[in-house]
Amino acid sequence: MIFLLLLLAVLPGLLPAAESSFDVIHHKALFADGRGVLSINDEGIRFDAKHADNSRSWNYLDIQFLDRVSPTELVVLTYEDIRRFAGRDKRYRFKLTAGEIDDELFAEMTGQLGRPASNRVFETPQQEVKLSVAVKHLHRFGGCQGRVSATDRGIYFVSDDEKHSHEWQLDRDVDSVWSADRYQLDVHVRNPGGPVHSIERFRFLLKEPLDSEWYRRLKLKLYELSGGKTSGAG
């Protein structure tokens, strides 16, 4: 009996970590796309390329940022330098040809990562919504239409153009918010994968006036989550 208890205690450490594997296409900006197998477990991510020289593996400490663009598309931002681009950090874009990265798997990945991430595949928890307002998301040029919703746990932008939709968790992704008037809201997001390193600003023109009491409570909550520290973003 004692032997059995000892065996049960050490067995989890002896078993290999559960792993999810997918056939993928590795999209490359300047070269021909590659093919291989993407494997994900609680230690990290591994890409076994058809041509072994292109294989890579990263533990979660080697990953800066994850972006689930769709259930079948994942971007991994690493700390590797791209020498021809003055040392810009290298990102890998994978397109699954079978299967999908579902909510449970992505939650496990971001939990192991322990850093901000980008999720564009989500369902807004309607029963928890405290704010819902029609907006225009301003891009560098032009913009897209959609709706911003918020709960006590996150902010959600559902765009008419799905690739611009985003879910941001308050305690992980949102650095601050700012509103210059009742028809404008900026969400400052911790995002090393964005165009501006570390903080990216999402600007929304509101089609309805902002609820000032909700905005006040959100500012207080973010202040508490930051441990009483605020960024220069407001």
In a domain, 9, yes or no: no
Q: What is the CATH number of the domain that holds 75?
A: 2.30.29.30
Of 119, 146, 167, the domain-final residue: 119
In a domain, 178, yes or no: yes
- The domain in which residue 64 lies consists of 15-119
Cβ-in-10-Å burial (0-12, 13-18, 19+) of 93 comes to: middle
Of 56, 87, 119, the domain-final residue: 119
**pTM summary value:** 0.81
- One domain, residues 154 and 110: no
In a domain, 232, yes or no: no
- One domain, residues 46 and 90: yes
- Which residue's entry shows tokens 């197998």? 37
- One domain, residues 144 and 87: no
Q: What pLDDT sits at residue 124?
A: 93
Alpha carbons 187 and 178: distance in angstroms, whole number? 7
Regions of the chain where pLDDT drops below 50 = 15, 232
Overall number of domains in the chain: 2
In a domain, 131, yes or no: yes
- One domain, residues 96 and 141: no
Q: Which residues contact 203 (CB under 8 A, 6 or more apart)?
A: 137, 138, 184, 186
In a domain, 69, yes or no: yes
Q: What pLDDT sits at residue 163?
A: 86
In a domain, 41, yes or no: yes
In a domain, 80, yes or no: yes
Of 88, 119, 150, the domain-final residue: 119
Q: What pLDDT sits at residue 94?
A: 97
- One domain, residues 20 and 114: yes
In a domain, 96, yes or no: yes
- One domain, residues 101 and 54: yes
